[in-house]
Structure 1
Amino acid sequence: MQLPESQVAVLEAANADDAQSVDALAAATELPPETVTGAVFELEDEGLVAVAERVDETLALTDEGAEYADSQLPEVTLYEAALEAGADDDPAQMGRVIGQSGLEGPGVDIALSNYARKGYGVIDSGEITADADADPAADAEANALAALEGADETPVDSVEIDEGTLEQLERRGLVEISETTVREVTLTELAVTELMAGLETAETVGQVTPELLTSGDWADVEFAEYNVEADAERVEGGNVHILRQTAERVKDVLVGMGFQEMEGPHVDADFWINDCLFMPQDHPARTHWDRFALEEPTHIDDLPEGLVSDVEQAHRQGVGPDGEGYHSPWDEDFARALALRGHTTSLSTRYLSGTEIGEIEPPARFFSVEKVYRNDTLDPTHLLEFFQIEGWVMAEDLSVRDLMGTFEEFYAQFGITDIQFKPHYNPYTEPSFELFGTHPTTGELVEIGNSGIFREEMLEPLGVECDVMAWGLALERLLMLMYGFEDIRDIHGTLCDLDLLRNTEVTY
């Protein structure tokens, strides 16, 4: 019987009684594993070998996991700092505790997102508490990391780590679970018979070379068959993030509905972010607990003098004969303070005032899909930064029906037809309402946006003399309704699930 050289080598190295893996055969024949795999498949087709397959799972710490195994998890560090600050007796200021912990950069986000989940305490409104009964020594995730420390790869079935802890470690990117298909080869009776009769090596060529072409020998040689089932190296190519893909689709939908896109700074003066929205300067949302102020520079240099005066007048005394205003403190220095925008409505105020592109005549429609920043408590539906779908329509005699109809048309483009509305209060819109959609997996109502008709106290200082309806929608919440994600940290942020992002089929 004539066979290619690689197949002969595999048959001579294999055994009829003991199964041998492809790697073992590769070592015995000194052939590459992929060559042996190809030969094994061809021999199986000829009935000369039997192939059994199994999938082995192994665990290995990532670099981040190894770092925490060597030191400790960020949430444990935060807990120890909270105890030192006396947070087991009275709530402590979160900023002070974080500073004392020594955590920096992504470590802060990681600690905050896991602190309450593990029962170390509560984080609320910029304050942190510590549960005196919590025991870091019993932290299942920390103990699992310690058990895996120092090992390159550990079989999953050889470690005593419960499934929930393992899933959480993998989700956090602290361990990697690798799956390897192991093929074991055994000689058949036919192969034993052929080996006893003697095998001959057939001269075959695996690929066309320049020498074969130039010499003309390609016409006389025998080529080996190409095996499309042979193992190949897996390559993870780059991919556009599903959040960015959805953002681009949102832009296409809004442009198709007649909207123009707005652009503007991520860092802006409180004047544009809040004062122009008729938000009183003593509003709780304008404290340092809810905004990210800049350390350098701290204030903007230039603001339109006339507009500043008109906005201050609206805050102090209101607008129109029946206007009341807030009669609360108003400080231009505070209005000039710089911060990361908490919403993209700062773009709307810039455009509506005519500062950005000049005076806008009704009817007009504008939108933006950009990032905003808020000092929120991290949970499955909140991050410190997220994307907001800002939009507004300027026209005469607008009503809530127009606003609701716009939402129904917009969300229908994404297959969402069960939008619900709830009356709400905003300092800058009246009437106002929130939007809710049904989560496709849990069936729960998820808040997806806020909206309303801009108040006269906001529009008159900006020089707008007709109605403007506006909204701020959460892009990440739209993804939750479209794809069934239950935790936006899986798709966005330091703990995102790369496998989930790679394998999620984008909906168009």
Structure 2
Amino acid sequence: MKLPESQVAVLRAASANDARSIDRLADETGLKPETVTGAVFELEDEGLVTVEESTDETVTLTDEAREYLADGLPEVRLYEAALDAGADDDPAQMGRVIGQSGLEGPQVDIALSNYARKGYGTIESGEITADPDADPESDAEASALAALDAGDSVAGADVLDQLQSRGLAELSESTVRSVTLTDEGVTAMMEGVETAETVGQLTPEMLTSGEWRDVEFAEYNVEADAERIDGGKTHILRQTANRVKDTLVGMGFEEMEGPHADAEFWINDCLFMPQDHPARTHWDQFALENPREIGKLPDDLVARVEDAHRNGVGEDGDGYHSPWTEEVARGIDLRGHTTSLSMRYLSGHEVGELEPPQRFFSVEKVYRNDTLDPTHLLEFYQIEGWVMAEDLSVRDLMGTFEEFYAQFGITDIEFKPHYNPYTEPSFELFGTHPTTGEMVEIGNSGMFREEVLEPLGVECDVMAWGLALERLLMLMYGFEDIRDVHGTLCDLDLLRETEVLH
């Protein structure tokens, strides 16, 4: 029997009594694993070998998990700090205990969400207690992390599922193929197998010399597994962003551009957001350390905005009666919404004074210190837009949304009244998730208040909105967790295999 060289090498390395993996056969033959795989499938078609497949599961720890291995789980650190504060005897102030624990940022929320779940104590009305009988040394999740780090298996699927849900462990699966000689394969080896002089690739030299007429070409198994090569392509988030831009341009809008890091004046003060508003604290915003302040603000506009905050606008205006300083207004933050661009454009600061009617939009990234969950990220894309014209109404705003979302096949938009410091009336937008059937908030909107428009020098109506691009993706593609499509934990296979909608 004559066979191609790779098949002969695999037959000689295989065994009738010992199932051998593709990797082992590759090591013994010196061939590439993909070459061995192709030869194995060809030999299987000839009845000379059998191939058995199994799934191998591998659990790996994330960087966050390794940080906890070094420092301890956040909930354990919180419990230990609570014990030090005497919370096992009397409730302690939660803020003081958190400060003593050394936890910062997202770790605080992680600790609080797992503290009571694990029975370490209670958290209520700003106070924390510690159960003296709790035993952090027997924490199942901490023990599982240590076992995985040591290369040991974890007993209990529930613990592993919990580690996965917390983003501390990642489970990957791979197919393992084992090869065994059949009786026919053994017989063929005993009778003798020779290497056929075959050619695997046609070359220019063969064509010019005519040698191709006299050689035997190797057969190719087009069903054999081959090495996967994924070419680059535009992310579906960017594709959708481009499609949103095309849609809005088609509706008569022009695009805005502006800085990602901007003065609080443009981000919040122009929007009639009081300087002591909770959303302007470090819990919601990211402040820059260098530089801390913007170099220049328009003095006349600053004066008008300050007056609106202090005294209100119009005969019935009353202002906020809360602290307002230009020092705060000059502070630089990462923008929490792209409405800062709207303020720059409406004020005439960016492109000069605008005469109605005008339509502008942006599809840009914004930054918020939110707790990560299936619908919230620390940075995401906002579809900002506004229309400046005479005699606008909420009916015009709702009609604009219905026309916009219909371009993406979404026709079941619902509206809910809402409060914003900068718009009145205001409402949120909701759409039905195609997989879960739940209502998902997809945006916020309203008519800009006179306290916003008058300092900017705008004398007509302006309707405005901020829509979430990622939430639009959820309604279009059925994703339940936006972290699957955006960020460091995104599902690459899902992104590669998702069919782009047009």
Which TM-score bucket, shorter chain as reference? 0.7 to 0.9
Which residue matches 2:408? Answer: 414
- How far did residue 207 of structure 1 move? 2.5
Which residue matches 1:324? Answer: 318
* 1:345 partnered with 2:342: no
Among residues 167, 182, 186, which one is paired with 1:187 in the alignment? Answer: 182
Q: Is the contact between residue 417 and residue 428 of structure 2 (CA under 8 Å) also seen in structure 1?
A: yes
- How far did residue 345 of structure 1 move? 1.3
Among residues 432, 436, 442, which one is paired with 1:448 in the alignment? Answer: 442
- Once residues 376 and 101 of structure 2 are traced to their aligned partners in structure 1, the CA distance between those partners, rounded to angstroms, is 25
Which residue matches 1:439? Answer: 433
| Identical-residue share of aligned pairs (%) | 70
Counterparts in 2 of 1:294 and 1:204: CA distance versus 1, 3 Å: closer
- Once residues 367 and 87 of structure 2 are traced to their aligned partners in structure 1, the CA distance between those partners, rounded to angstroms, is 27
Q: Per-residue CA shift, 1:40-92, capped at 9, x if unaligned?
A: 22222233333333333333445665564465445644664566567883443
Q: Is the contact between residue 412 and residue 431 of structure 2 (CA under 8 Å) also seen in structure 1?
A: yes
Q: Per-residue CA shift, 1:16-41, capped at 9, x if unaligned?
A: 55544444444554544433332222
Q: Is the contact between residue 82 and residue 92 of structure 2 (CA under 8 Å) also seen in structure 1?
A: no
Q: Is the contact between residue 64 and residue 174 of structure 1 (CA under 8 Å) also seen in structure 2?
A: no
Counterparts in 2 of 1:114 and 1:258: CA distance versus 1, 3 Å: farther
Counterparts in 2 of 1:34 and 1:460: CA distance versus 1, 3 Å: closer
* 1:255 partnered with 2:249: yes
- How far did residue 359 of structure 1 move? 0.8
| Structure 1 stretches lacking a partner, 5+ long | none
Q: Match of 2:419, SS? A: strand
Q: Is the contact between residue 171 and residue 496 of structure 1 (CA under 8 Å) also seen in structure 2?
A: no
- How far did residue 279 of structure 1 move? 2.3
Which residue matches 1:58? Answer: 58
- Once residues 222 and 160 of structure 2 are traced to their aligned partners in structure 1, the CA distance between those partners, rounded to angstroms, is 39
Counterparts in 2 of 1:407 and 1:90: CA distance versus 1, 3 Å: farther
Counterparts in 2 of 1:170 and 1:13: CA distance versus 1, 3 Å: farther
TM-score norm. by structure 2 comes to: 0.85
Counterparts in 2 of 1:35 and 1:333: CA distance versus 1, 3 Å: closer
Which residue matches 2:240? Answer: 246
Q: Is the contact between residue 85 and residue 97 of structure 1 (CA under 8 Å) also seen in structure 2?
A: no
Counterparts in 2 of 1:48 and 1:339: CA distance versus 1, 3 Å: closer
Q: Is the contact between residue 144 and residue 159 of structure 2 (CA under 8 Å) also seen in structure 1?
A: no
- How far did residue 354 of structure 1 move? 0.3
Q: Per-residue CA shift, 1:436-477, capped at 9, x if unaligned?
A: 222223322222221111112211111111110011122222
Amino acid at match of 1:175: E
Which residue matches 1:35? Answer: 35
- How far did residue 100 of structure 1 move? 5.5
Amino acid at match of 2:102: S
Among residues 145, 160, 165, which one is paired with 1:165 in the alignment? Answer: 160
Which residue matches 2:280? Answer: 286
- Once residues 277 and 66 of structure 2 are traced to their aligned partners in structure 1, the CA distance between those partners, rounded to angstroms, is 45
Which residue matches 2:102? Answer: 101
- How far did residue 204 of structure 1 move? 1.3
TM-score norm. by structure 1 comes to: 0.84
Among residues 419, 422, 431, which one is paired with 1:425 in the alignment? Answer: 419
Which residue matches 1:177? Answer: 172
Counterparts in 2 of 1:317 and 1:188: CA distance versus 1, 3 Å: same
Which residue matches 1:333? Answer: 327
Counterparts in 2 of 1:453 and 1:185: CA distance versus 1, 3 Å: same
Which residue matches 1:374? Answer: 368
Q: Match of 2:180, SS? A: strand
Which residue matches 1:466? Answer: 460
Q: Is the contact between residue 50 and residue 188 of structure 1 (CA under 8 Å) also seen in structure 2?
A: no
- Once residues 124 and 279 of structure 1 are traced to their aligned partners in structure 2, the CA distance between those partners, rounded to angstroms, is 30
The 5-angstrom pairing of residues 112-191 of structure 1 reads: 112-113=109-110, 115-117=112-114, 119=117, 132=131, 136-151=136-151, 159-162=154-157, 165-166=160-161, 168-169=163-164, 172=167, 174-189=169-184, 191=185
- How far did residue 231 of structure 1 move? 3.1
Q: Is the contact between residue 98 and residue 108 of structure 2 (CA under 8 Å) also seen in structure 1?
A: no
Q: Is the contact between residue 144 and residue 161 of structure 1 (CA under 8 Å) also seen in structure 2?
A: no
Q: Which structure is richer in relative contact order (CA contacts within 8 A, separation 6 or more)?
A: 1
- Once residues 416 and 432 of structure 2 are traced to their aligned partners in structure 1, the CA distance between those partners, rounded to angstroms, is 14
Counterparts in 2 of 1:173 and 1:227: CA distance versus 1, 3 Å: farther
Q: Per-residue CA shift, 1:148-205, capped at 9, x if unaligned?
A: 2243xx7xxx65240562474387263352312313233244x444445444432112
Counterparts in 2 of 1:500 and 1:296: CA distance versus 1, 3 Å: same
Q: Match of 1:178, SS? A: strand
Counterparts in 2 of 1:443 and 1:356: CA distance versus 1, 3 Å: same
Q: Match of 1:285, SS? A: helix
- Once residues 271 and 429 of structure 1 are traced to their aligned partners in structure 2, the CA distance between those partners, rounded to angstroms, is 17
- How far did residue 142 of structure 1 move? 2.8
The 5-angstrom pairing of residues 73-92 of structure 1 reads: 73=73, 76-77=76-77, 80=80, 89-92=91-94
Amino acid at match of 1:187: T
- Once residues 410 and 287 of structure 2 are traced to their aligned partners in structure 1, the CA distance between those partners, rounded to angstroms, is 37
Amino acid at match of 2:227: E
- How far did residue 409 of structure 1 move? 1.2
- Once residues 254 and 85 of structure 1 are traced to their aligned partners in structure 2, the CA distance between those partners, rounded to angstroms, is 57
Q: Is the contact between residue 61 and residue 176 of structure 1 (CA under 8 Å) also seen in structure 2?
A: no
Which residue matches 1:402? Answer: 396
Amino acid at match of 2:169: L
Which residue matches 1:8? Answer: 8
- How far did residue 264 of structure 1 move? 1.4
- Once residues 135 and 239 of structure 1 are traced to their aligned partners in structure 2, the CA distance between those partners, rounded to angstroms, is 50
Which residue matches 1:390? Answer: 384
Among residues 226, 231, 242, which one is paired with 1:232 in the alignment? Answer: 226
- Once residues 506 and 86 of structure 1 are traced to their aligned partners in structure 2, the CA distance between those partners, rounded to angstroms, is 57
Q: Is the contact between residue 87 and residue 128 of structure 1 (CA under 8 Å) also seen in structure 2?
A: no
Amino acid at match of 1:144: A
Counterparts in 2 of 1:250 and 1:13: CA distance versus 1, 3 Å: same
Counterparts in 2 of 1:24 and 1:323: CA distance versus 1, 3 Å: closer
Q: Is the contact between residue 58 and residue 177 of structure 1 (CA under 8 Å) also seen in structure 2?
A: yes
Q: Is the contact between residue 317 and residue 326 of structure 1 (CA under 8 Å) also seen in structure 2?
A: yes
Q: Match of 1:426, SS? A: coil
| Structure 2 stretches lacking a partner, 5+ long | none
Q: Match of 1:299, SS? A: coil
Amino acid at match of 1:101: G
Counterparts in 2 of 1:17 and 1:378: CA distance versus 1, 3 Å: closer
Q: Match of 1:389, SS? A: strand
The total of aligned residue pairs comes to 496
